[in-house]
């Protein structure tokens, strides 16, 4: 409980004091936005990445940003542009999604590069939900980065509403569309979107990160990987946590927590994160 | 004004009251209507102002809404997404933009523009301009195909600091729909909203309110109030009219009609000759206590008035009768006669109209002799006899002391004569001795008849003449007027009457025929009898005309005095005829008149040597025998001789002869002429009477001696004197030869 009180104190002090909006012009002409909080020297830097279509204002990320900043960590919480310059809002499911997980990786890379210019210590990547998948994709795309640890909170694949057996078929369909240069957006039930309007390329890029792909990445990546999962996360596929536990990654299960780790569980999450960052 | 209201009837007043109340109600209604109209106008003015305010607020709200929507769209990430990657712009514009509900459904169209002002991709319908009209941000109104639209052009920046311009956005609104959206219009009829669009077709939104034209909604409350007022006022007016009608009926029934009836009754009472109305007209149910009291009092008063009126009518009738009745005889009086005569003349119906005049012979003498009670009894008896003799319905009038009259209408002359005969008989058979009258009471009847209206005017005069004729000695007691009497009438006409009066006043108008009275047996003129006549302007009126007038006018004494004066004049003139003496006829009233006696005494005294004989006619009833005898004695003492004239023709000749100390007895001509009769008895009677008179010591004078044979006879009988045409003509001259 005392940590809770300290956290509230830090949150109250840090919201206005530490968070600084920053922008980053990208190679594709877009400008990305992020909240940045420089930390105390000697403390590692943390890049916090929001979930699918969300922003750094998503509560789980926001609370985490504030807590870590309050702990003296240099924290950068970018908003993926999702091909929207200066994006400030979560992108609706019904919006025309042209962004790809590869583009997300490029933006993460750009931000890490931006962060490297401002922080010379180790960097930890913390992602929430599919943001964790995006970070895995970055790690897979940029294996030689200076990332010291990856913490995936409530990591989950971009789930189709169909059973996973249909993922390959849908993925094949998207690739087929792409092959035919058919860029007509499609509407699918994907992740939390009932009707996601996305180009085949966009949808395919996220669909290719199937649970197996995640598990494979957990096995393959050299970066220390930590998963923090809620015991009551109903967005996960059946046996997903168990399957994670079978990976080399260290897996923390917060009992009673849901997908967003809200309420009193966010403090346990914070404790776990701080504990994981402590050895960085 | 006050006089005006004094003369207004209760009907008019009540009607005026009803009308005033009706007008007042109508006026109040009109006033309320005007007030309602004023209030409505005020409400409409306020509503117009509110409407303008509504429109102004709506345009401001609309502008703000457009700005808000524009800002919302400009700040939307997906807007920036499209400005950077416009590959799916059309899908975004046509589908996503609507699905995302970033802009309301009232947005007709939206578009994004490059920083250079060109539209990203024009839509097929061309709903949005291909280029920006001006440098955004602007809000403009445009009229397109008769429809009003609003455009909001706004910049889209990449960053919140608006440092990086990505392009522009534009949204198009349906003006009226948005106006309805931004505000609920209570006063403005938004369907009438129109915009006065300038030539450019664009109106900056800040100037839009000034260019809007619109109508104000009809206020349903005001209209409902109007209807409510009209319905309420109509009901009130109807109720008022009904109440007024009932009030009018009630007022008329309870107040106006009784008052008007009373007024009519009073007016009827006031009108000249108005008859008393029936009091029952005012009876009936009356609801007003005071009015009932007034009416009851009026009815009582009216009943009393009616009773008084009846009494007055009875009194009037009594007075009328009394005024037209002779109290003594019970016959109608002269006034009634004149009225009936006037009515007869006015009616003009005269077929067989008869006027009968009755005159009691010698009534004055009876009255004077036996006194007024006896005279009254005689009058009453005569009236009773005449009424009995007349037919039922014939009116008997007492038109003078002893004169009666009756009018017989639609009666033939023969029947009128029969009625007159019956009247005469009733008088003759009546026993007047019961009243102490020894002499027979007779009446003279003059009858005039007319068969046409023209003769009516002369009827009185004719009857008068006939009556006078009947009164003359020796005539029938019933005389029907004819033309012969008409000749006499000339003598008794007004002119003749006037002459008689002038002669009395101027005795010089009198002339005399001095008829000699001869001494027998050798006829020697001893003196003359003065027979009076009147001459004026060459016209001569004889005794036959004079004496009826004198007697009718009761001028006996006055005429006697005139005669005496005229004879004195002739004596003074020493006329030869008067050389030996003169005989003067004196009326019975004259014998009783002291002045006449004195005049005769003076005449005798003036001519003591001449013989003066005073003739007293036996036909005139001498009523006051005592004074008459005294005066005779005075005359005889003065040296006059007294003769009883017309002996045997009149009243109680022998009684007069026995009572009066006369010197001479003049046998009436009718008695003398009996001597010419072939019958023995009449002549014997005359001879015996003459012998009796002579034996009594009187001298006898025979009148009417016209022949020698008659002269011889009277001479043989012992008459001392004779006179007649045998000795002189009618002018007193000796007969020729």
Identify the segments of chain A with pLDDT beneath 50: 1-17
**Does the residue B280 lie in any domain?**
no
For residues B582-593, average pLDDT? 87
Q: Which one of B190, B217, B244 terminates a domain?
A: B217
**Does the residue B65 lie in any domain?**
yes
The boundaries of the domain holding residue B581 are 494-722
B78 and B181 housed in the same domain: yes
C-alpha of B514 from chain center:
66
Q: CATH number, domain at B560?
A: 3.20.20.450
What pLDDT digit, counting tens, does each position of B348-382 carry? 666 788 999 998 887 877 777 788 888 899 999 99
Of the candidates B78, B96, B159, the beta carbon closest to that of A86 is on B159
pLDDT given at position B494: 61
B468 and B550 housed in the same domain: no
C-alpha of B137 from chain center:
108
pLDDT given at position B334: 85
Q: Which one of B462, B489, B516 terminates a domain?
A: B489
Neighbours of B272 (CB within 10 A): 4
For residues B693-713, average pLDDT? 87
Report the DSSP pairing between strands A31-37 and B188-195. Answer: unpaired
**Does the residue B539 lie in any domain?**
yes
B599 and B677 housed in the same domain: yes
pLDDT given at position A17: 44
pLDDT given at position A155: 95
For residues B507-522, average pLDDT? 88
B371 and B438 housed in the same domain: yes
B514 and B410 housed in the same domain: no
pLDDT given at position A10: 43
Q: Which one of B165, B193, B217 terminates a domain?
A: B217
pLDDT given at position A12: 42
Residues 121-150 of A with CB under 8 A from B: none
**Does the residue B733 lie in any domain?**
no
**Does the residue B507 lie in any domain?**
yes
Q: CATH number, domain at B425?
A: 3.30.70.270
B485 and B517 housed in the same domain: no
pLDDT given at position B639: 92
Give chain B's radius of gyration (CA, Å): 68
Say if residue B551's pLDDT is above 90: no
pLDDT given at position B236: 81
Q: Which residues of A touch B87 (CB under 8 A)?
A: 98, 183
User: Cα B659–B661–B663 angle (5° rounding)?
Assistant: 135
Residues 30-69 of B with CB under 8 A from A: none
If one compares B314 and A110, the residue with the highest pLDDT of the two is A110
pLDDT confidence tier of residue B734, bands split at 50, 70 and 90 = low
pLDDT given at position A139: 95
Say if residue B721's pLDDT is above 60: yes
Give dist(CA A173, CA B239) in Å, integer: 90
What pLDDT digit, counting tens, does each position of B217-237 carry? 887 777 788 888 888 888 888
B425 and B537 housed in the same domain: no
Say if residue B716's pLDDT is above 60: yes
If one compares B654 and B487, the residue with the highest pLDDT of the two is B654
B522 and B654 housed in the same domain: yes
Question: Residue B432 gets which letter from DSSP?
Answer: G
User: Among residues of chain B, what percentage have pLDDT more than 90?
Assistant: 16
Say if residue B243's pLDDT is above 80: yes
For residues B163-181, average pLDDT? 88
Residues 67-126 of B with CB under 8 A from A: 76-78, 80-81, 84-85, 87-88, 91-92, 96, 99-100
B568 and B419 housed in the same domain: no
Structural domains of chain B, count: 3
Closest CA to A255 of A242, A243, A269: A269
Q: Which residues of B touch A92 (CB under 8 A)?
A: 78, 100
User: DSSP string of A71-138?
Assistant: TT-EEEEEEP-TT-TT--SPPPTTS-B---HHHHHHHHHHHHHHHHTT--S-EEEEEETHHHHHHHHH
Distance between B78 CA and the closest CA of chain A, angstroms: 7
**Does the residue B281 lie in any domain?**
no
If one compares B439 and B629, the residue with the highest pLDDT of the two is B629
**Does the residue B261 lie in any domain?**
no
Q: Is B319 on the interface with A (CB under 8 A)?
A: no
Closest CA to B648 of B700, B695, B697: B700
Residues in contact with B34: Cβ distance below 8 Å, sequence separation at least 6, in sequence order: none
B617 and B528 housed in the same domain: yes
B581 and B706 housed in the same domain: yes
Domains assigned to chain A:
2-90+122-157+210-278 (3.40.50.1820)
- For residue B521, cis peptide bond before it (omega within 30 degrees of 0): yes
pLDDT given at position A262: 86
User: DSSP string of B494-557?
Assistant: HHHHHHHHHHHH-GGGEEEEEEEEEETTTTEEEEEEEEEEEEETTEEE-HHHHHHHHHHTT-HH
**Does the residue B11 lie in any domain?**
no
Neighbours of A89 (CB within 10 A): 16
Q: Is A238 on the interface with B (CB under 8 A)?
A: no
- Best probe of the A interface among B72, B84, B160, by most A CBs < 10 A, is B84
pLDDT given at position B528: 92
B572 and B716 housed in the same domain: yes
pLDDT given at position B729: 65
Tell me the average pLDDT of chain B. 82
Question: Residue A180 gets which letter from DSSP?
Answer: T
């Amino acid at each position: 409980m005392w940590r809770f009180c300290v956290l509230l104190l830090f949150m109250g002090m840090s919201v206005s004091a530490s968070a600084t909006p920053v922008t980053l012009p990208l190679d594709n002409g877009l400008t990305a936005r992020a909240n940045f909080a420089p930390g105390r020297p000697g403390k590692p830097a943390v890049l916090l990445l929001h979930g699918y279509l969300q922003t750094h204002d998503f509560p789980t990320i926001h609370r985490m940003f504030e807590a870590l900043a309050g702990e003296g960590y240099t924290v950068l919480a970018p908003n993926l542009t999702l091909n929207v310059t200066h994006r400030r809002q979560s992108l609706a499911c019904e919006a025309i999604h042209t962004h790809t997980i590869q583009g997300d990786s490029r933006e993460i890379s750009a931000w890490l590069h931006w962060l490297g210019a401002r922080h010379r210590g180790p960097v930890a990547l913390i992602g929430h939900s599919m943001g964790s998948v995006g970070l895995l994709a970055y790690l897979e795309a940029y294996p030689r980065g200076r990332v010291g640890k990856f913490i995936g909170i409530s990591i989950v694949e971009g789930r189709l509403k169909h059973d996973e057996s249909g993922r390959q078929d849908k993925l094949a369909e998207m690739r087929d569309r792409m092959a035919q240069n058919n860029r007509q957006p499609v509407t699918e039930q994907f992740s939390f979107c009932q009707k996601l309007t996305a180009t085949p390329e966009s949808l395919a890029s996220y669909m290719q990160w199937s649970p197996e792909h995640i598990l494979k990445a957990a096995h393959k990546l050299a970066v220390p990987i930590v998963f923090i999962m809620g015991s009551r996360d109903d967005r996960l596929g059946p046996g997903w946590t168990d399957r994670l536990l079978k990976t080399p990654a260290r897996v923390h299960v917060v009992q009673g927590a849901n997908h967003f780790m809200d309420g009193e569980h966010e403090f346990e999450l914070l404790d776990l994160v701080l504990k994981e960052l402590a050895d960085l | 004004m006050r006089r005006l209201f004094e003369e207004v009837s209760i009907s008019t007043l009540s009607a005026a009251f009803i009308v005033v109340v009706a007008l007042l109600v109508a006026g109040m209604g009109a006033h309320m209507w005007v007030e309602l109209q004023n209030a409505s106008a005020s409400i409409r003015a306020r509503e117009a102002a509110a409407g303008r305010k509504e429109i102004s607020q709506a345009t401001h709200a609309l502008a703000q809404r457009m700005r808000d929507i524009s800002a919302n769209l400009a700040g939307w990430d997906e807007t920036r997404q499209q400005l950077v990657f416009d590959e799916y712009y059309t899908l975004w514009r046509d589908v996503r933009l609507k699905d995302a509900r970033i802009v309301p459904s009232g947005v007709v169209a939206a578009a994004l523009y490059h920083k250079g002002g060109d539209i990203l991709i024009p839509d097929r319908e061309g709903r949005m301009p291909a280029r920006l009209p001006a440098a955004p941000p602007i809000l403009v109104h445009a009229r397109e195909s008769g429809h009003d639209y609003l455009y909001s052009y706004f910049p889209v920046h990449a960053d919140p600091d608006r440092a990086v311009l990505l392009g522009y956005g534009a949204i198009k609104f349906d003006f009226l729909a948005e106006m309805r959206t931004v505000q609920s219009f209570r006063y403005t009829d938004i369907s009438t909203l129109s915009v006065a669009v300038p030539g450019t077709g664009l109106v900056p939104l800040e100037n839009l309110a000034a260019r809007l034209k619109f109508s104000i909604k009809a206020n349903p409350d005001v209209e409902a109030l109007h209807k409510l007022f009209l319905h309420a006022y109509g009901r009130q007016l109807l109720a008022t009219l009904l109440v007024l009608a009932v009030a009018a009926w009630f007022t008329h029934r309870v107040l106006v009609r009784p008052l008007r009836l009373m007024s009519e009754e009073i007016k009827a009472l006031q009108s000249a000759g108005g008859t008393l109305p029936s009091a029952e007209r005012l009876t009936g149910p009356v609801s007003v206590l005071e009015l009932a009291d007034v009416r009851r009092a009026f009815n009582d008063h009216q009943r009393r008035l009616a009773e008084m009126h009846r009494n007055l009518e009875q009194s009037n009738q009594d007075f009328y009768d009394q005024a037209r009745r002779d109290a003594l005889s019970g016959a109608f009086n002269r006034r009634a006669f004149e009225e009936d005569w006037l009515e007869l003349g006015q009616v003009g119906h005269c077929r067989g109209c008869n006027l009968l005049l009755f005159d009691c012979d010698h009534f004055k003498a009876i009255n004077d002799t036996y006194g007024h009670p006896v005279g009254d009894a005689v009058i009453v008896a005569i009236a009773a006899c005449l009424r009995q003799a007349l037919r039922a319905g014939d009116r008997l009038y007492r038109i003078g002391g002893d004169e009666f009259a009756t009018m017989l209408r639609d009666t033939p002359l023969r029947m009128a004569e029969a009625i007159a005969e019956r009247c005469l008989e009733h008088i003759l058979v009546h026993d007047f001795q019961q009243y102490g009258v020894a002499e027979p009471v007779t009446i003279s009847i003059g009858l005039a008849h007319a068969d046409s209206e023209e003769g009516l005017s002369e009827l009185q005069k004719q009857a008068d003449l006939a009556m006078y004729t009947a009164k003359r000695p020796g005539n029938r007691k019933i005389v029907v007027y004819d033309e012969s009497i008409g000749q006499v009438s000339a003598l008794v006409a007004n002119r003749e009457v006037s002459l008689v009066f002038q002669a009395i006043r101027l005795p010089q108008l009198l002339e005399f025929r001095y008829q000699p009275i001869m001494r027998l047996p050798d006829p020697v003129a001893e003196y003359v009898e003065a027979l009076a006549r009147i001459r004026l302007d060459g016209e001569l009126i004889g005794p036959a005309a004079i004496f009826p007038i004198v007697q009718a006018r009761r001028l006996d004494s006055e005429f006697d005095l005139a005669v005496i004066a005229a004879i004195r004049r002739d004596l003074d003139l020493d006329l030869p005829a008067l050389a030996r003496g003169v005989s003067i006829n004196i009326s019975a009233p004259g014998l009783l008149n002291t002045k006449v006696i004195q005049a005769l005494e003076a005449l005798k005294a003036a001519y003591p040597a001449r013989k003066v004989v005073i003739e007293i006619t036996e036909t005139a009833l001498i009523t006051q025998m005592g004074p008459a005898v005294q005066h005779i004695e005075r005359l005889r003492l003065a040296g006059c001789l007294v003769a009883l004239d017309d002996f045997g023709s009149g009243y109680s000749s022998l009684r007069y002869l026995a009572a009066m100390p006369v010197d001479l007895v003049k046998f009436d001509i009718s008695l003398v002429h009996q001597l010419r009769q072939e019958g023995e008895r009449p002549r014997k009677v005359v001879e015996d009477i003459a012998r009796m008179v002579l034996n009594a010591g009187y001298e006898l004078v025979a009148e009417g001696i016209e022949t020698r044979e008659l002269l011889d006879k009277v001479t043989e009988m012992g008459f001392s004197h004779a006179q007649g045409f045998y000795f002189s003509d009618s002018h007193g001259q000796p007969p020729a030869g």
